[in-house]
A and B are shown apart, each in its own frame.
Chain A
Amino acid sequence: MTALLHMLSYAFMRKALIVGVLVSLCAALLGVSLVLKRYSMIGDGLSHVGFGALAIASAFHLAPLAVTVPVVALAAVLLLRLSQNRKINGDAAIALVSSSALAIGVLSVSLTTGMNTEVSSYMFGSILSLSRADAVLSLLLSAAVLLLFIAFYPRLFAVTFDESFSRATGVRTGAYDTLLAVLTAVTVVLGMRMMGALLISSLIIFPALSAMRLCRSFKGVVCCAAGLSVGCFLIGVTGSYFLETPTGASIVAVDLVAFLICLLAGKK
Chain B
Amino acid sequence: MALIECKDASFAYEGVSVLEGVDFSLNAGDYLCIVGENGSGKSTLVKGLLGLKKPESGQILYGDGLKSTEIGYLPQQTMVQRDFPASVYEVVLSGCLNSLGRRLRYGPAERERAESNLERLGIEDLRDKSYQALSGGQQQRVLLARALCATKKLLLLDEPVTGLDPIATGEMYNLIKLINLCDDITVIMVSHDLHEAVRYATHILHLGRRQLFFGTSAAYRESSLARRFLGRDRI
Contacts and interface: CB of A to CB of B under 8 A. Distances in A.
Which of the four size classes fits the interface of chain B?
35 or more
Interface in B26-56: 47, 50-52
B65 to A, nearest CB: 13
Given A152-B104, A157-B90, A157-B94, A170 B84 contact: no
A215 B106 CA distance: 22
A217 B91 CA distance: 10
Interface stretch (A15-23, A64-72, A96-104, A158-166): A158-166
A38 B146 CA distance: 24
Contact of B100 (A154, A216, A217, A221): A154
Interface of B: 47, 50-52, 67-73, 75, 78-81, 83-87, 90-91, 93-95, 97-98, 100, 104-106, 128-130, 133, 146, 150, 156
Interface of A: 36, 38, 151-152, 154-155, 157-158, 161-171, 212, 215-221
Given A218-B86, A219-B87, 7 more contacts: A151-B104, A154-B97, A158-B94, A162-B80, A168-B51, A171-B98, A217-B87
Given A170-B68, A216-B85, A161 B94 contact: yes
A38 to B, nearest CB: 7
Contacts of A170: 67-71, 98
A169 B71 contact: yes
A236 B97 CA distance: 39
B100 to A, nearest CB: 7
Contacts of A154: 93-94, 97, 100, 104-106
A215 B73 contact: no
A167 B97 CA distance: 11
A38 B192 CA distance: 34
Given A158-B97, A217-B87, A218-B85, A168 B104 contact: no
A84 to B, nearest CB: 13
21 contacts: A36-B81, A38-B81, A157-B86, A161-B80, A161-B84, A164-B52, A167-B52, A168-B71, A169-B69, A169-B71, A169-B72, A169-B73, A169-B97, A170-B67, A170-B68, A212-B85, A215-B85, A216-B129, A217-B86, A217-B130, A218-B87
Contacts of B91: 161
A28 B84 CA distance: 16
Contacts of B150: 165, 169
Contacts of B47: 168
Contacts of B105: 154
Contacts of A162: 75, 78-80, 94
Contacts of A218: 85-87, 90
Contacts of A219: 87, 90
* Chain B CB within 10 Å, residue with most, of A158, A164, A218, A220: A158
Counting chain B CB atoms within 10 Å of each CB, which of A161, A166, A212, A215 scores highest?
Answer: A161
Contacts of B85: 36, 212, 215-218, 220-221
A164 B79 contact: yes
